[in-house]
Chains A and B, each alone.
Chain A
């Protein structure tokens, strides 16, 4: 028996769902093959993953159509635990699924549940850890692992049970660039022996395409667009997938060009991004050492031309849980100025201090040393932690990564109105925002009932209600497809119409071209402050960091002149990574 997965007209409608989440999937996948599932948000990719693992229909209510045979078992009638022995699934957010405190216990958890005898577990746990590149991690605490390590732990936990089929549902969506790199680096080993069939759903297509034998492309309604070998699917369907808002591998971009000769630039360009004043297109940074951090990549005066809306000065925040050593500071003597109307990208690995910097700017996290000031009036900087709520809302707004946590109103209209200044004109203001952000038809709905993209729009809209001079955003494109990412950039442009500055913490290189400036953090320290082109040319992170790998390819796409991408082109590169 050589067929691993066989679908005939398979579809699924969640209970209470208005339309099928997935329909008409026809697919035959041989044992040992690697399948990549492509499609825009809402195309049913995760539903397919849940169906392969038997969680649909057995753990989640709804109605199936057609048939789905996995490893010879019909998913409609096979109990989930039996299917679960053949199929392992890795989810987006590794931290959401880790049950136990120690690495070895966590890997063994699935084996215990399946009743493996002790001696087999003892032999298998180190093998599975080795496959995921975690040898020697047995006694480590799971909570102290990095995001990439946690995700590889989840993969080890799945591989341990020797499933015939492994499903990876956006395994790097929640990871920072180093985490992604570490997962992709071990994906090769996992697919290499062809012993297991792998189904992968992933936005970072360039990194996975090399492993892939077949592609299943889904459309925005959850229907099957195409399936076949990557080259074939790329040639015939790249344009349609792009049109529907899905990410496509950069190698497929040539198909777009061929199909539309004089068309659409391939992605946003630095120069063309709306509202970006004479960008970053290099004069290469002068390399003046920063007076405080003495990092050659930090240029003082990068924003000197603009009046300042916020300034943090030698801010240090101590980590209350750490006793001593290098991890002692969440932020370590960071100084930064944000100019009026400027959009600053805040980048760096997880734990570098990006979110903490945003919270410090908002006055929520108090610095141990140093000072934070936001401009309440032109030229007057005040400590945000000492402002009253009514005062601070006039100056700045923060859009959290999880929009749901920020909801304070019962309806979309209430939600926007809640932060508005009382007085005449409020209704018009709210109606205007509902309109500008495409929320008018949801005005009376409960914010929790909106889709993730709509929730994001609502949280940005409600942050704009007092036209703050500083808008702080934490990972606004996290887990989004291309269309949604473009929509966020449009949102940011819309939010900037009032002239406010924006600081955007992000792992997403695709946001960079729309920014005026990049601020890079690493382990709490400022390692870069300068123009976007300079950052892309020489990201101050380790050589294996996708900011470097993806950054270069991306820079070409973004329209940065090739001369500036050549290593060391005018920008002092830090050899050997971390300073």
Chain B
């Protein structure tokens, strides 16, 4: 029984699923770089629009599940935007241009612009990470990192193995809490709470080491990291599609920069 969300998987064929994960990673990195360099909110707005378009038309991901997955970040983005409106320094400057004046609360143009840019950037992070990690499984991702970028096997597949162990550790963590409740152990006050948290961390560490050891032994037994050259069951090659996606992605980034520079 796992209380972690089920992984998102593409439900229909899509071009983003057919390109190498590193291609998607490069485009997303370029977009985020542009979004955070451009001051004008129109820059992330263009990128976000393109990102949502790609999510709908090119990712093959189920939309409803995608929206649910992004929801926490989008809500956080909205909250931060409101906070920016409230604390923006231009509010204490009487000369700053006013967008709306509600009597007690004045929204300046500069504050609104900053809040919007922030919200759009955070939403872009949510969409971009879905576009990078959603269309293919973690194995393909690791394979692509190893094959395209020569990332060491130990790192790439070791990380995959660690990902497999993570849900067990989450379950172990909640067990340590249940144990204390059932045995009538109550932490009263901050010091006792800290002590209990420390003891639970120690238990988790012991369990993590044990699970890690078993995993390492199983991987050793199957000849992993034995100093031989690994071959690949999934061959990931860069092709025309990758060039297409990369070109289109960079073009969108340029358009965003240009739109942002318009008066």
Using a CB–CB cutoff of 8 Å, the interface residues on chain A facing chain B are 53, 55, 59, 79-81, 84-85, 88-89, 91, 93, 96-102, 104-105, 108-118, 121-122, 125, 143, 157-158, 161, 319-321, 330, 351, 355-356, 359, 362, 364, 388-394, 396-398, 400, 402, 404-408, 418-419, 421, 448, 462, 466
Once the chains bind, are A101 and B221 in contact (CB under 8 Å)?
A: no
Q: Which residues of B contact A114 (CB under 8 A)?
A: 223, 228
Q: Which of A89, A125, A143 contacts B233 (CB 8 A)?
A: A125
B160 / chain A contacts, CB cutoff of 8 Å: 99-101
A397 B183 Cβ-Cβ under 8 A? yes
Interface 1/0 per residue, B88-119 and A, CB below 8 Å: 00000000000000000000000000000000
Contact present for A355 and B180 (CB under 8 Å): no
Interface centre among A89, A113, A408 (most CB of B within 10 A): A113
User: Are the CB atoms of A121 and B231 closer together than 8 Å?
Assistant: yes
B149, CB-defined interface residue at 8 Å: no
Contacts of B219 in A (CB 8 A): 97, 99
Question: Do residues A99 and B164 form an inter-chain contact, with CB atoms below 8 A?
Answer: yes
Tell yes or no: B5 within 8 A of A by CB: yes
Provide the bound-state CA to CA distance between A125 and B233, in Å: 10
Of B1, B183, B215, the residue contacting A408 (CB under 8 A) is B183
- State the Cβ distance, B68 to closest chain A Cβ, in Å: 11
Q: Please, which residues of chain B bring their CB within 8 A of the CB of A97?
A: 214-215, 217-219, 221
Q: When the two chains form the complex, which single residue of A55, A102, A321 contacts B221, counting CB atoms closer than 8 Å?
A: A55
**Is residue B262 within 8 Å, beta carbon to beta carbon, of the partner chain?**
no
Contact-residue size bin, chain B (C-beta under 8 Å from the other chain): 35 or more
Most buried by A among B2, B160, B183, B224: B183
**Interchain CA distance A362-B182 in the complex, whole Å:** 8
Q: Are B222 and A110 interface neighbours, CB within 8 A?
A: yes
Tell me which residues from 9 to 27 in chain B have a Cβ below 8 Å from any Cβ of chain A. none
Q: Name the residue on B nearest A421 (C-beta).
A: B184
Given the interface pairs A96-B211, A102-B139, A400-B175, the reply to whether A466 lies near B184 with Cβ below 8 Å is yes
Q: Are B234 and A105 in contact (CB under 8 A)?
A: yes
- A408 neighbours in B (Cβ, 8 Å): 179-180, 183, 185, 199
CA distance A418 to B180 in the complex (A): 9
Contact of A115 among B4, B182, B229 (CB under 8 A): B229
Considering only CB atoms, which chain A residue lies closest to B143 in the complex? A105
B231–A389 CB distance below 8 A:
no
**B63 nearest CB across to chain A (Å):** 15
- Choice from A101, A108, A319, A321 contacting B137 with Cβ under 8 Å: A101
Instruction: Mark contacts of B221-245 with chain A using CB atoms, 8 A cut-off: 1 yes-contact digit, 0 otherwise.
Output: 1111111111111110000000000
Q: A101-B139, A408-B179 are in contact. Are A84 and B184 (CB under 8 A)?
A: no
**Interface positions of B from 139 to 193, Cβ below 8 Å from A:** 139, 157, 160-161, 164, 172, 175-176, 178-186
Can you identify 28 A-B contacts, CB atoms within 8 angstroms?
Answer: A81-B223, A91-B221, A93-B214, A96-B211, A97-B214, A101-B138, A101-B139, A105-B233, A111-B233, A112-B231, A114-B223, A114-B228, A115-B228, A118-B231, A121-B233, A143-B2, A320-B3, A355-B1, A364-B182, A392-B181, A392-B182, A402-B175, A404-B207, A405-B176, A406-B179, A408-B185, A418-B185, A419-B185
Contact: A407 with B203, CB < 8 Å? Answer: yes
Question: Which single member of A85, A125, A394 contacts B223 (CB below 8 Å)?
Answer: A85
Apart from the given pairs A113-B222, A397-B182, A404-B203, 8 other A-B contacts in the complex at a CB distance below 8 Å: A97-B217, A97-B218, A99-B219, A102-B137, A112-B232, A113-B223, A389-B185, A390-B186
Of A98, A112, A351, A418, the residue contacting B164 (CB under 8 A) is A98
Chain A residues, CB < 8 A from B179: 398, 400, 405-406, 408
For A407, list chain B residues within 8 Å (CB): 203
What distance in Å separates the Cβ of B173 from its nearest Cβ neighbour in chain A? 9
- Closest-by-CB residue of B relative to A97 is B218
For residue A116, which residues in chain B have a CB less than 8 angstroms away from its CB? 231
Among B199, B223, B231, chain A packs the most CB atoms within 10 A around the CB of: B223
In the complex with contacts A97-B219, A99-B160, A389-B228 CB distance below 8 A: no
**For residue A400, which residues in chain B have a CB less than 8 angstroms away from its CB?**
175, 179
Cβ-defined contact, B214 with A91, below 8 A: yes
Beyond A59-B220, A99-B219, A118-B235, whether A113 also contacts B214 by CB under 8 A is no
A-B pairs, top 9 by smallest CB distance, nearest first, are: A97-B218, A393-B184, A81-B226, A108-B233, A419-B183, A113-B223, A110-B222, A96-B214, A364-B178
